[in-house]
Amino acid sequence: MAQTIVVTSIPQFSHQSSIIKFSKRLIHLHNQFHVTCIFPTIDAPIPATLKLLDSLPSSITCTFLPPINKQDLPQDGPLQILLAVSQSMPAFRDSLISLRSSTRVVSIVADLLVSQALEIAKEFNLLSFIYFPLSAMVSSLHLHLLSLHEQISCEYIDHTEPILIPGCVPIRGQDLPSVFLMDRSSLVYELVLRHTKNFSLADGVLVNSFSEMEENTMRALTRNDHNNNKTQLVYLVGPILQTGLETEPKGSDCEKWLENQTQNSVLYVCFGSGGTLSQEQINELAFGLELSGVKFLWVLREPSNSKNVDYQSASNDDDNILKFLPQGFLERTKEHGLVVPFWAPQTQILSHTSIGGFLTHCGWNSILESIMLGVPTITWPLFADQRMNAILLIESLKVGLEVKFNENGIAEREEISNVIRDLMLGEKRSVIQQKIEELKDVAKGALGEDGSSTRTLSQFVTLMESHASHELIKH
């Protein structure tokens, strides 16, 4: 009977695709296992996830749990996801029982926000692991949240002293992830805290980073007791990249345009799959790009006063999106800029020789891509863990520059223009370029045959095989 690892994640593409890519790498290196993904669902499976599953080997299969009706959930994004996961857990347990009747399940790997799966793992005497599709820095925050909750009595955003997270640079309360900036009496914060309490049930922690990049944090995670006197193994198994949807063919408009540009001359501007700007901020960014005189490729989305909009199932009229640009902008910049409505093949773009910089919302996947492809960054965080990711890039790794915002939270055109010119043309560029090239080499080395992340993944597999053998002897 085959040995099967069950993985589960929240109904959000960035999390699902990361754990699927982790599974693909695991199977590639250790093909004695099968992986079954069991995913909670809101309304229907995410189309991008279904598309990603098409490219997977037969040793990875996926089960989508009965959908939770979106109309029966709050419209608040984080709360909607957390409650949908909770309501899906009885179905998850039933699915696991059914799977165990036909295959030998050896462990459960659960996203940090599906910690109820750890309770179910203990019920069936299975090994269980938490999977963080995040930086080690943000993972350390979550793993030490209980002690932070006890140490700080006020709202985090009002805390005046630097917040100390083991192994990380000190940060301000206002730079914590979005869910930590909500009222501490809110249901969202309460649910996140409840997940954190469940972490003590896990036998180990898997993190989508690599030790050479976040060495101090890794040491702190290994050394610090963060779960009630229980020793947990920490595995840094990244960088795991979500590059399975780069389906735009060679010869696309993006590629044709880039082919005509000189090496390292173009700034790529993109705010991820859900990041949005207000109309005022779109105007300032457009004028900033124009003022800089630097060539650019900008992925534009419809403006919104919310910084986080779910575009996974949205259908956008590409031509209509361009109407949100300032009047005459496209005509004035036609010689040195390309605006792409809604979506572009990010990995293909970042790997092109004409790209010299990346203005990014600092989503973790985008950061890993910029590192793996050696592209310096301008940080423009919007929500979630992006402020902490920006701090990692700017203060710890020193591979980018930051955009600064005025008292109204707007980045003004002169500021944008100056930062772009500094990154692309200024004296700082050569130092930043050298640092990210060195980091690129180290990242590729971590994934090599004897790399740190490859060895760590083997240690993870050894633990599962040892537990499986022990259980066979018992029975």
Q: Which of 15, 142, 144, 352 is catalytic?
A: 15
Q: What average pLDDT score do residues 209-235 get?
A: 80
- Per residue in 411-454, pLDDT (tens digit) is 999 999 999 999 999 999 999 999 999 999 999 999 999 999 99
The pLDDT of residue 434: 97
Fold of 253-443: Rossmann fold (3.40.50)
The pLDDT of residue 250: 55
Joined tokens for residue 73: 């959930």
Distance CA 401, CA 196 (A): 33
Is 30 among the residues known to form the active site?
Answer: no
- Per residue in 346-384, pLDDT (tens digit) is 999 999 999 999 999 999 999 999 999 999 999 999 999
**Three-state secondary structure string covering 320-359:** HHHHHCCCCHHHHCCCCEEEEECCCCHHHHHCCCCEEEEE
pLDDT at 245 over 70: no
Q: What average pLDDT score do residues 327-332 get?
A: 97
**Is it true that domain 3-238+450-474 has CATH number 3.40.50.2000?**
yes
Q: What are phi and psi of 350, to 5 degrees?
A: -65, -25
Q: Which of 34, 111, 195, 226 is catalytic?
A: 111
CA 8, 13, 18 angle in degrees (round to 5)?
60
Can you give the pTM of this predicted structure?
0.94
Q: What average pLDDT score do residues 71-97 get?
A: 96
Close Cβ partners of 74 (under 8 Å, ≥ 6 residues apart)? 80, 83
Distance CA 379, CA 423 (A): 11
pLDDT at 223 over 80: no
Is 15 among the residues known to form the active site?
Answer: yes
Nearest to 390 by CA among 374, 405, 401: 401
Strands annotated E in 164-314: 204-207, 233-236, 266-270, 295-300
Using 50, 70 and 90 to split pLDDT, how confident is the model at 318? low
What pairs with residue 204 in β-bridges?
129, 233
Question: If you search the block for the tokens 């880039």, which residue do you land on?
Answer: 258
Q: What average pLDDT score do residues 94-109 get?
A: 96
Domain boundaries of the chain, sorted by first residue:
3-238+450-474, 253-443
Distance CA 142, CA 217 (A): 13
Distance CA 429, CA 431 (A): 6
The pLDDT of residue 311: 47
Q: From the CB of residue 153, how many other CB atoms can be counted at a distance below 10 Å?
A: 8
Using 50, 70 and 90 to split pLDDT, how confident is the model at 395? very high
Distance CA 291, CA 304 (A): 24
Distance CA 140, CA 223 (A): 12
Using 50, 70 and 90 to split pLDDT, how confident is the model at 468? confident
Distance CA 391, CA 404 (A): 13
Distance CA 202, CA 47 (A): 31
Q: From the CB of residue 314, how many other CB atoms can be counted at a distance below 10 Å?
A: 11
- Per residue in 13-54, pLDDT (tens digit) is 999 999 999 999 999 999 999 999 999 999 999 999 999 999
Torsion, Cα 371 377 381 383, to 10 degrees, reads -30
